């Protein structure tokens, strides 16, 4: 379903509810925001959408770090959603003035733990409002673990992650420091700082903030955990879903400039920063889409090692202990890479095609060792399945396990999971693939195309409660949970396989991860060249 339709559908569902004088209000440093209400089961949920957390990044503020809002007074509506430009969408509700967030809170409750959700979408698409947390909040209330949920927008694609030498030379960062390519990451930081100052007005506790996200959102969480620019105590816990990835998404500055800024300049014949800032959104998206179409993940421009927001690849920072010391919940789906490779090969691939693809992913040493752990590709029943098993392990499973191990080694609670349940409507290539765990936390994503069975509803409820209890306490376990989720330790090496029949497994990834992929992860070998 197209994002614009989802946004409009949300409007049609939520905003027909007439509350009148009972509309919820929230006091902020920018005045009083008036929201709306909805009822889920027996829980009334207050919500405010489209609340700005920074100045509009337009005109001269395009491709600069987000600027704080001035203090204001007055009463303002907060029931008009928006989304950042993406694809071919640059008309309302899509707008460059999109630095806003959405807050959802149970009625009459205050000082609640806060869950800040960072959406995925290859840093090129997505929007906060796609993830409706009403049922998540209602479930948390019904089981005495109430939370506030915040979903945010951040700049995407070339508008959020373009790297350009001219922009770098502007030295627009704090203390006149150079930065480029990480405007979307800086937006996320600004959103967290705004929430720190204002979330009490919505019923949240600024000293109990958990950040979480999936895919590009999960990668964002790992970057916020390792960024030298991220202030201490901005958040207290972190959830990483399909975001502990290797190879790392952060690009070297020179490569990023060549692969984004220089491409845009050439395509639109711009020689100056002023020319770039005068481009229409339509012009920028047209070039962005060409670049994204050539990437298997639909990525237009990744975050950048700019020695400002990001100082090194994540693996190096984790290896050196340069990360926020907070409890972490981290995991993946069983078949992470299926949707990307199946789309690339149109659901079928020969041995030769898979071997050629593997050769683009790994060096000769790794290629020579893969058969020792996965058997011969030529003997595989399905070459594409073989590729996805190898790729998912290296790209996601082992990287997430290394994060769990790193935090555990620092005596921090860490919980590792693998999502294993396949919906009956899923094709072979969509089965337990990247993003399928989101259905259990945000069931509205299904949009009526499938009704969860009783057993699936129980899985959904348990996952919601694992998440909410982690958000509240740093420990996901709760009374009546369908499995005790042990904290990760190097000795037990445990992950919780989330399925209709959940299973706590010990050493499941040990052979392929400890025995193979972990040995070739880029850790602690080079310092950033941009210091």
DSSP 52-76: E-S----GGGTTS---PPPP--SEE
Residue 102 bridge partners (DSSP): 151
Is the CB of residue 48 less than 8 Å from the CB of residue 14? no
pLDDT for the residue numbered 188:
98
Assign 429 a pLDDT band (cuts: 50, 70, 90). confident
Question: 1-323 in CATH: which number?
Answer: 3.40.50.1820
pLDDT class of 248 with cuts at 50, 70, 90: low
Q: Out of 8-17, 38-47, 122-131, 402-411, pick the least confident.
A: 8-17
Other C-beta atoms closer than 10 Å to the C-beta of 524 total 13
pLDDT in tens, 364-409: 999 999 999 999 999 999 999 999 999 999 999 999 999 999 999 9
157 within 8 A of 86, measured Cβ to Cβ: yes
- State the pLDDT at residue 22: 84
What is the structure's pLDDT at 247?
55
Q: What is the pLDDT of residue 4?
A: 42
> 494-498 and 503-506 as β-strands: parallel, antiparallel, unpaired?
antiparallel
Mean pLDDT rounded to a whole number for the chain: 92
**What is the distance between the alpha carbons of residues 175 and 229, in angstroms, rounded to a whole number?**
12
Is it true that 1-323 and 327-531 share their CATH fold? yes
Look at residue 92 in the predicted model and tell me its pLDDT.
87
Please give the pLDDT value at position 422. 95
Residues with Cβ within 8 Å of residue 71, at least 6 apart in sequence: 29, 30
Q: What is the CATH number of domain 327-531?
A: 3.40.50.1820
Q: Where does the pLDDT of residue 66 fall: very low under 50, low under 70, confident under 90, or very high at 90 and above?
A: very high
**Tens digits of residue pLDDT in 204-237:** 999 999 999 999 999 999 999 999 999 999 999 9
Asked if residues 203 and 178 have their Cβ atoms less than 8 Å apart, the reply is no
The domain ranges of the chain are 1-323, 327-531
3 state SS for 380-414: CCCHHHHHHHHHHHHHHHHHHHHHHHHHHHCCCCE
Peptide bond connecting 93 to the previous residue in cis, omega within 30 degrees of 0:
yes
Give yes or no for a contact between 399 and 518, defined as CB atoms under 8 angstroms apart. no
Strands 100-106 and 148-152, bridge-based pairing: antiparallel
Work out the pLDDT band at 97, boundaries 50, 70, 90. Answer: very high
* Band (531; pLDDT cuts 50, 70, 90): very low
- What's the rounded Cα separation, in Å, for the pair 353 and 140? 47
Q: Answer yes or no: is pLDDT of 528 > 80.
A: no
| Pairing relationship of beta strands 304-305 and 237-241 according to DSSP bridges | unpaired
From the list 99, 101, 105, 93, the residue with the least C-alpha distance to 47 is 105
* pTM, to two decimals: 0.94
The rounded distance, in Å, linking the Cα atoms of 304 and 300 is 12
Cis ω for the linkage preceding 247 (within 30 of 0): yes
Q: Which 8-state DSSP code applies to residue 429? A: T
Q: Is 484 left (phi over 0), alpha (psi -120 to 50) or beta?
A: beta
* Average of per-residue pLDDT across 485-495: 97
pLDDT recorded at residue 505:
97
Q: What is the pLDDT of residues 155-174, one digit of tens each?
A: 999 999 999 999 999 999 99
pLDDT at position 20 is 56
Q: pLDDT band for position 520 (50/70/90)?
A: confident
**Least confident interval from 8-17, 193-202, 345-354, 481-490:** 8-17
Q: Which pLDDT score, from 0 to 100, does residue 119 have?
A: 98
| Cα dihedral 351/352/353/354 (nearest 10) | 50
Give the closest residue to 512 by CA, choosing from 521, 504, 503: 521
């Amino acid at each position: 379903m197209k994002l614009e339709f989802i946004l409009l559908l949300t409007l049609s569902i939520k905003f027909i509810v007439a509350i009148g004088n009972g509309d919820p209000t929230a006091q902020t440093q920018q005045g009083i925001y008036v929201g709306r209400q909805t009822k889920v089961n027996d829980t009334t949920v207050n919500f405010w959408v489209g609340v700005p957390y920074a100045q509009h990044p337009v005109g001269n503020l395009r491709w600069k770090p987000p600027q704080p809002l001035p203090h204001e007074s007055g009463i303002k509506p907060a029931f008009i959603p928006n989304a950042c430009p993406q694809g071919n969408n640059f008309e309302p509700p899509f707008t460059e003035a999109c630095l806003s967030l959405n807050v959802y809170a149970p009625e009459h409750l205050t000082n609640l733990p806060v869950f800040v959700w960072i959406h995925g979408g290859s840093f090129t698409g997505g929007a906060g409002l796609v993830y409706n947390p009403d049922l998540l909040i209602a479930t948390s209330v019904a089981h005495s673990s109430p939370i506030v949920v915040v979903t945010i927008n951040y700049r995407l694609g070339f508008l959020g992650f373009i790297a350009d030498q001219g922009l770098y030379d502007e030295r627009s960062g704090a203390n006149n420091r150079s930065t480029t390519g990480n405007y979307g990451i800086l937006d996320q930081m600004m959103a967290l700082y705004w929430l720190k100052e204002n979330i009490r007005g919505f019923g949240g506790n600024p000293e109990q903030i958990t950040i979480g996200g999936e895919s590009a959102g999960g990668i964002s969480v790992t970057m916020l955990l390792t960024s030298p620019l991220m202030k201490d105590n901005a958040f207290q816990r972190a959830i990483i879903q399909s975001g502990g990835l290797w190879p790392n998404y952060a690009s070297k500055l020179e490569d990023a400039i060549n692969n984004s800024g220089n491409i845009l300049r050439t395509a639109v014949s711009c020689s100056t920063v002023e020319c770039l800032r005068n481009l229409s959104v339509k012009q920028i998206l047209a070039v962005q889409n060409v670049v994204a179409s050539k990437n298997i993940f639909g990525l237009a421009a990744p975050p950048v090692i700019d020695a400002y927001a990001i100082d090194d690849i994540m693996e190096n920072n984790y290896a050196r202990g340069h990360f926020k010391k907070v409890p972490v919940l981290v995991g993946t789906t069983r078949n992470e890479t299926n949707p990307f490779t199946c789309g690339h090969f149109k659901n079928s691939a020969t041995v030769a095609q898979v071997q050629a693809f593997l050769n683009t992913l790994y060096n000769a040493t790794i290629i020579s060792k893969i058969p020792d752990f996965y058997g011969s590709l030529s003997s595989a029943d399905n070459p594409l399945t073989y590729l996805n098993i190898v790729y998912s392990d290296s790209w996601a499973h082992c990287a997430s396990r290394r994060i769990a191990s790193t935090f555990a080694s620092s005596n921090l609670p860490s919980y590792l999971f693998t999502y294993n349940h396949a919906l009956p409507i899923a094709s072979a290539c969509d089965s337990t693939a990247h993003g399928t765990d989101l259905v259990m936390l945000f069931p509205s994503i299904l949009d009526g195309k499938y009704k969860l069975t009783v057993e699936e509803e129980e899985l959904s409820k348990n996952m919601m409660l694992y998440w909410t209890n982690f958000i509240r306490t740093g420990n996901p376990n709760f009374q009546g949970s369908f499995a005790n989720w042990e904290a990760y330790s190097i000795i037990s090496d445990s992950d919780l396989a989330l399925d209709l029949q959940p299973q706590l497994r010990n050493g499941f990834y040990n052979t392929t991860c400890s025995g193979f992929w972990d040995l070739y992860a880029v850790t602690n070998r080079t310092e950033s060249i941009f210091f």
